[in-house]
Amino acid sequence: MTEVLSEDQIAFYRDQGYLILENRVPDDVMASIRAEIARFQEQARGMTASDDRIDLEDSHTPDDPRIRRVKLPHTQSKVIDDLLHSDHILAPVRDLIGPNLRLQTTKLNMKSAGYGAAVEWHQDWAFYPYTNDDVLAVGLIIDDMGPENGPLMVFPGTHRAGVYSHHHNGCFVGAMDLEACGLDMKDAVPLMGPAGSISIHHARIVHGSALNRSTQDRRIIFYEMMASDAFPIVGGRGKWEGLEEFDSRILCGEPTLEPRLVANPMRAAYPDAPTQGSIYEVQKAMGKRSFEVLS
Ligand SMILES: O=C(O)CCC(=O)C(=O)O
């Protein structure tokens, strides 16, 4: 018995590595989320540098605040935390990877109209490999998403293809040279839908997004999570600060002391790049980019 997904949707996710569920989060919740984002935008006014809550665009000025990412927004907003723990988000995830879920991380990526930054192609798994591959990200689409405002794009089926190199000049840069990896942009699929829809992508699917030159914002909250029996592997950057902190991230169901092991591919996410930091910073150390940057 599943909670919300059909057998066909589950089979599609297993085969293709992603899903889109349209109109999953009600309008009143979406209005509250937008009010929270307006509050973050006010907080960025006057800031002169990124801090542990807010990551600023390179073109930010204190008078013209430009946020690139709100870090761990569920710790900064009860509305965003309540939604994380709701069935709107967790029910489809339970259908895919079981009843016991643990949080990896959350982020609100603000790809604002006219300037929102690109994210180069990568696999989340390159950053955080786990002992099994029941690891995924739910993306809450906050603005209607079309081809023009920088949708998340995925290469279907690449979650079954292994782990690609995310290294350049001997350092982990968190981004792939698409051509060297044998992938062609024309095969990527944009994950689009009206505001309130969610996307789900497997941690090993190759994904990225172009900058947003349109007049329409593109904001997504990513809720990233895994089965509670998936433990981080040393050599990756999956968070491990001890058992107490690990178990404080249980979202539903039970923790366990018995990691489930599956023979999955991994590459160590080290050594550090000279620009080590958020994904936007570390990717600056890559070689050949796929997406345009704002000059
Ligand atoms: O915001 C996006 O389009 C991509 C985000 C992403 O993949 C990430 O932050 O790891």
2 domain residue, yes or no: no
What pLDDT, on the 0 to 100 scale, is given for residue 119? 96
Q: What are phi and psi of 63, to 5 degrees?
A: -85, -20
Burial profile 59-75: b = 16 or more Cβ within 10 angstroms, e = fewer = ebeeeebbbbbbbbbbe
64 domain residue, yes or no: yes
Which amino acid is present at 29?
A: V
For atom 1 of ligand 1, the residue with the nearest CA is: 109
208 CA to centre of ligand 1 in angstroms: 6
Atom from ligand 1 closest to the CA of residue 151? 3
89 contact partners, CB below 8 Å, separation of at least 6 = 25, 83, 138, 140, 198, 223
Which amino acid is present at 154?
A: V
Max distance between CA atoms of the chain, in angstroms, equals: 53
292 domain residue, yes or no: no
Residue 33 gets which letter from DSSP? H
293 domain residue, yes or no: no
Residue with tokens 């290294």: 167
Each of the 295 residues of the chain gets a pLDDT tens digit; together they read 999 999 999 999 999 999 999 999 999 999 999 999 999 999 999 999 999 999 998 889 999 999 999 999 999 999 999 999 999 999 999 999 999 999 999 999 999 898 888 999 999 999 999 999 999 999 999 999 999 999 999 999 999 999 999 999 999 999 999 999 999 999 999 999 999 999 999 999 999 999 998 999 999 999 999 999 999 999 999 999 999 999 999 999 999 999 999 999 999 999 999 999 999 999 999 999 999 887 6
End-to-end CA distance of the chain: 52
Rounded alpha-carbon distances, angstroms, from residue 221 to 116, 141, 143, 152, 176 = 15, 7, 11, 12, 23
What pLDDT, on the 0 to 100 scale, is given for residue 213? 87
pLDDT in tens, 35-49: 999 999 999 999 999
109 CA to centre of ligand 1 in angstroms: 7
**Measured between alpha carbons, how far is 188 from 197 in angstroms, rounded to an integer?**
20
| The total number of structural domains that make up the chain | 1
85 domain residue, yes or no: yes
222 CA to centre of ligand 1 in angstroms: 8
State the CB neighbour count (10 A cutoff) for residue 233: 18
**Best of 106, 158, 209 for a ligand 1 pocket test (most atoms within 8 Å of beta carbon):** 209
203 CA to centre of ligand 1 in angstroms: 12
User: Which neighbouring-strand residues pair with 283?
Assistant: none
Q: What is the CATH number for 60?
A: 2.60.120.620
pLDDT in tens, 277-290: 999 999 999 999 99
For atom 10 of ligand 1, the residue with the nearest CA is: 124
Q: Is the CB of 152 under 6 A from ligand 1?
A: yes
294 domain residue, yes or no: no
261 CA to centre of ligand 1 in angstroms: 27
Q: Is the CB of 166 under 6 A from ligand 1?
A: no
Length of the chain: 295
Full-model pTM: 0.97
**Measured between alpha carbons, how far is 97 from 10 in angstroms, rounded to an integer?**
10
Q: Is the CB of 118 under 6 A from ligand 1?
A: no
Helix%, strand%, coil% for the chain, nearest 5: 25, 25, 50
Instruction: Decide: helix, strand or coil at residue 37.
Output: helix
Range of the domain at 219: 7-285
1 domain residue, yes or no: no
185 CA to centre of ligand 1 in angstroms: 17
Q: Is the CB of 209 under 6 A from ligand 1?
A: yes
Q: Is the CB of 282 under 6 A from ligand 1?
A: no
171 contact partners, CB below 8 Å, separation of at least 6 = 271, 272, 273, 274, 285
87 domain residue, yes or no: yes
257 CA to centre of ligand 1 in angstroms: 31
What pLDDT, on the 0 to 100 scale, is given for residue 293? 82
